Amino acid sequence: MTKEATSLEIKHRKKALQALAELGRKIVEDIRNAQPPKLKIPSRSTSNIIYDRKNRYFVLGPRYGIRSAGSMKQIKKVAQLLCTADFARELIESGKFATLREMYYTAEGWEVGPFHDQGESDAIIEDLEATFGLKRESLGLTPEEDGAAVFGQIVFREGDVTIDATKAGRGGYTIPPTIDDVEFVKCRAKRIIAVETMGMYHRLIQEEAWKKFDALIVGLKGQAARATRRFLKRANEELGLPVYLNCDGDPFGYHIGMVIISGSANLAYINHELAVPDAKYIGVTASDIINYKLPTDKLRELDIVRLKQLLKDPRYNTEFWQYEIKKMLEIGRKAEQQAFAKYGLAYVVNDYLPAKLKEVEGKEFLGKG
Amino acid sequence: MTKEATSLEIKHRKKALQALAELGRKIVEDIRNAQPPKLKIPSRSTSNIIYDRKNRYFVLGPRYGIRSAGSMKQIKKVAQLLCTADFARELIESGKFATLREMYYTAEGWEVGPFHDQGESDAIIEDLEATFGLKRESLGLTPEEDGAAVFGQIVFREGDVTIDATKAGRGGYTIPPTIDDVEFVKCRAKRIIAVETMGMYHRLIQEEAWKKFDALIVGLKGQAARATRRFLKRANEELGLPVYLNCDGDPFGYHIGMVIISGSANLAYINHELAVPDAKYIGVTASDIINYKLPTDKLRELDIVRLKQLLKDPRYNTEFWQYEIKKMLEIGRKAEQQAFAKYGLAYVVNDYLPAKLKEVEGKEFLGKG
């Protein structure tokens, strides 16, 4: 789409190409030394996933696996990994992107033979990500889905196109899988309010919460896509914007927030690019259910099991979370963000959010409309 | 968000307010005549859903149900319907929108009592839609989800914001639930190519299919949202753009296309605003699987059951569909759009689409890059 690579794109491509070249050099060196090429790949097994208390997210431990072209059992995997690395090089050099699914089908044309299923090709890509400490997006490989919607006073540049996120339509600016290549040109917002549902996203836009709170409104569409998490991290680090997460008051809402804050275990190898440990949960809590007399639903069996898991999860090992999880188990009820509509459509913007923002920023917002 | 209503918005609001006022007048008349208010509501039961061969979509038949405030069993529903109608009036008059979920929670504050679950409030809204022959969006009630992504040479106006769909970012312009209020300012595209997956959408944008084929590229994100279907219908009728549907070669892909073409049975009451009977399927067929030697998956039990259902569905009663459904059952295989990646990432734009477009338009496209 974009003819000329931006400086940001060039920087990313260079880093990825260096990592790929390093891999190639290592292979060539082994061959020159008359050794079967060997690859040292960080282990992604559960026992090597560690919660890093200092950084406050999951990381990989020190364990590695060796994959050797000298082993009959491993040689196909080594060859597939090198073909995948070569495909990534082609993508990066041509400035193109392929989905994981396209990658899987591309392998149908390889001499080394196709993958049995996409699970196999995805695992090889994760091997490369873990080895390089680079996201697959940096290797030209993107997930299928776009990221969240963003509305508010920020201007993006993608290639030679400049996009004002207040002028991209009611639907907002869509975070592309290639968010790392997007430049933040200008931002007048002072914070980010990310909401779980698109219903709440449209409510906040309609009630002009983005103006009232000087905020970028981000519509997560449920569990946040990688691109969304990367956007939040970049906005937090590069623009210094605090990130607030407004989710449903149930274990799944809690966890949608937490995955943004502390990353997920199965992405431990790349959480350093995705986690936003300083993001704050301002979503519906068990206390809110009581204090606001919200319409609720009974916890299902699954909710109860999930809440009990969260109680033991190191990411929830804070006074706030332990209290709110236990309280929800005690009252046996959950509530959605949109339940505030009981008090009128504007209540969430005029009353609820100002109260929550005051809690986290200690500052009065002129919410009352 | 938008301060001033556009002429399009005013037109839509007027129509909806007239329908609501008519409903109110009817109630008042009954009361003046000392009769318990009665409502005549089109039946949405399966037996009243008819495939209209002339219009080529499902419509409601002539049967009606009477809901009377004189019946102890019905009075609560009559009252809820009137409260809902009044809430819609408020929304329209204030230029606001509420989600179906917010509507459900809003009823928590009504004297007539809340709904048991959202199924109940949704049914009441469908009653109003069927009664008025107006989409719920015209009554200020929107679904949660946004519609498809659009990329290409079209300019939209939403209130006082003008959006060029080549300049809204790689993610494209997002069709909002309120698409009926969006003006088509300018369109240089000559056709629409709608694709099932966002992977294919990004492929077509990257390979500049929108330029090569003078097309708007629409990323459906699976089963098309109501807003997407409405957009396709409006673009087809108002801009005269032919609509082509490129879906996966499996029963679910076939049906994603067909629902756009002929509407769904459960929206029979509103298909006249959604169906695009002249849209054409240019997605992967069983014949393509054979001719292009595509990588395939075996049909699952569920696929086979579904294909057999489609064979008997009146919407598939054409030579083309009967042949392709039987052929897929015969070969026992299915294939995805992205399977063309076997021949390189650009193959779908350089070879497949030109061949398909030639079939439907009888015209050569300079696809080869």
State both tokens at A171.
């639907």
pLDDT of residue A7: 81
Q: Are B198 and A109 a contacting pair at CB < 8 A?
A: no
Phi-psi region of B152 (alpha: psi -120 to 50; beta: other; left: phi over 0): left
pLDDT of residue A111: 84
The answer on A289 and A306 residing in a single domain is: yes
Assigned domain for B264 exists: yes
Assigned domain for B368 exists: no
Closest to A77 (Cα-Cα) out of A121, A119, A40: A121
Collect the ranges in chain B with pLDDT lower than 70: 1-4, 366-369
The answer on A61 and A32 residing in a single domain is: yes
Q: Label each residue of B199-216 as H, E or C.
A: HHHHHHHHCCHHHHCCEE
**Would you call B148 an interface residue with chain A, using a CB distance cutoff of 8 Å?**
no
Q: Are A168 and B163 a contacting pair at CB < 8 A?
A: yes
pLDDT of residue B368: 45
pLDDT of residue A366: 65
Assigned domain for A2 exists: no
Put simply, the chain B residues between 33 and 72 with a CB less than 8 A from any chain A CB are none
Query: Residues of A with CB below 8 A from B196's CB?
Result: none
Q: State the best of B91, B105, B352 to mutate against chain A, taking most chain A CBs within 10 Å.
A: B105
State both tokens at B217.
């590229």
Task: Give me the total of CB pairs closer than 8 Å, taking one residue from chain A and one from chain B.
Answer: 160
Nearest to A105 among B106, B114, B338 (CB): B338
The answer on B153 and B138 residing in a single domain is: no
Assigned domain for B367 exists: no
The answer on B202 and B119 residing in a single domain is: no
**Would you call B164 an interface residue with chain A, using a CB distance cutoff of 8 Å?**
no
Query: Residues of B with CB below 8 A from A96's CB?
Result: 206, 345
The answer on B157 and B113 residing in a single domain is: no
The answer on B81 and B172 residing in a single domain is: no
Q: Hey, what amino acid is at B37?
A: P
Whether B247 and B200 have beta carbons less than 8 Å apart is answered as no
Nearest to A295 among B105, B295, B344 (CB): B105
Assigned domain for A282 exists: yes
State both tokens at A263.
């990353």
Calculate the alpha carbon distances from B309 to B44, B251, B304, B312, B325 in Å. Answer: 22, 10, 9, 6, 10
Is A105 an annotated catalytic residue? Answer: yes
Distance CA A170, CA A164 (A): 12
Closest to B173 (Cα-Cα) out of A149, A179, A102, A98: A149
Q: A15: buried, middle or exposed (CB in 10 Å: 19+, 13-18, 0-12)? A: middle
Q: Report whether pLDDT(A237) > 80.
A: yes
Closest to B234 (Cα-Cα) out of B292, B156, B306, B133: B156
Whether A333 and A191 have beta carbons less than 8 Å apart is answered as no
What residues contact A4, with CB distance under 8 A and at least 6 apart? A159, A160
**Stretch among A280-294, A355-369, B117-131 having the lowest mean pLDDT:** A355-369
Whether A156 and A239 have beta carbons less than 8 Å apart is answered as no
Last residue of one domain, picked from the residues B142, B176, B204: B142
The range of the structural domain enclosing residue B290 comes to 149-361
| φ/ψ of residue B155, rounded to 5 | -120, 130
The answer on B169 and B136 residing in a single domain is: no
Q: Are B169 and A161 a contacting pair at CB < 8 A?
A: yes
Query: Residues of A with CB below 8 A from B170's CB?
Result: 1, 158, 176, 178
State both tokens at A44.
């992604």
Average pLDDT, chain A: 93
What is the C-alpha R_g of chain B?
23
What letter would DSSP give residue A207?
T
The answer on A308 and A250 residing in a single domain is: yes
Q: State the best of B146, B181, B337, B349 to mutate against chain A, taking most chain A CBs within 10 Å.
A: B146
Distance CA A275, CA A230 (A): 8
Last residue of one domain, picked from the residues A100, A118, A142: A142
Pick the catalytic residue from A51, A64, A105, A347.
A105
The answer on A179 and A237 residing in a single domain is: yes
Whether B185 and B156 have beta carbons less than 8 Å apart is answered as yes
pLDDT of residue B143: 86
Distance CA B146, CA A125 (A): 31
pLDDT of residue B369: 42
Assigned domain for A368 exists: no
| A368 — pLDDT class (breaks 50, 70, 90) | very low
Query: Residues of A with CB below 8 A from B147's CB?
Result: 171
Residue A182 distance to chain B (closest CA, Å):
10
**Would you call B96 an interface residue with chain A, using a CB distance cutoff of 8 Å?**
yes
Q: Are B197 and A161 a contacting pair at CB < 8 A?
A: no
More confident position, A113 or A198: A198
Q: Report the share of chain A in percent with pLDDT over 70.
A: 98
Residue B319 distance to chain A (closest CA, Å):
31
Query: Residues of A with CB below 8 A from B203's CB?
Result: 99, 102
Assembly ipTM: 0.90
Last residue of one domain, picked from the residues B142, B167, B198: B142
**Would you call B105 an interface residue with chain A, using a CB distance cutoff of 8 Å?**
yes
Q: Report whether pLDDT(A363) > 90.
A: no
**Per-residue pLDDT reduced to its tens digit, A5-63:** 778 888 888 999 999 999 999 999 999 999 999 999 999 999 999 999 999 999 999 99
Residue B229 distance to chain A (closest CA, Å):
16
**Would you call A156 an interface residue with chain B, using a CB distance cutoff of 8 Å?**
yes
Q: Report whether pLDDT(A155) > 70.
A: yes
Q: How many structural domains compose chain A?
A: 2
pLDDT of residue B259: 96
pLDDT of residue A145: 81
pLDDT of residue A354: 96
**Per-residue pLDDT reduced to its tens digit, A321-345:** 999 999 999 999 999 999 999 999 9
The answer on B168 and B125 residing in a single domain is: no
Q: What amino acid positions of B are annotated as catalytic residues?
A: 105
Nearest to B295 among A105, A176, A203 (CB): A105
Assigned domain for B104 exists: yes
pLDDT of residue B144: 82
pLDDT of residue A297: 95
**Per-residue pLDDT reduced to its tens digit, A97-137:** 999 999 999 998 888 888 999 999 999 999 999 999 999 99
C-alpha A168, offset from chain centre: 23
Residue B133 distance to chain A (closest CA, Å):
25
Q: Hey, what amino acid is at A37?
A: P
The answer on B180 and B323 residing in a single domain is: yes
Distance CA B151, CA A205 (A): 23
What letter would DSSP give residue A351?
I
| Residue A282 belongs to domain with CATH number | 3.40.1360.10
Distance CA A10, CA A227 (A): 19
Assigned domain for A367 exists: no
- Nearest 10 degrees: Cα torsion B254, B60, B314, B197: 0
Q: Are A114 and B175 a contacting pair at CB < 8 A?
A: no
The answer on B319 and B179 residing in a single domain is: yes
| Residue A24 belongs to domain with CATH number | 1.10.10.10
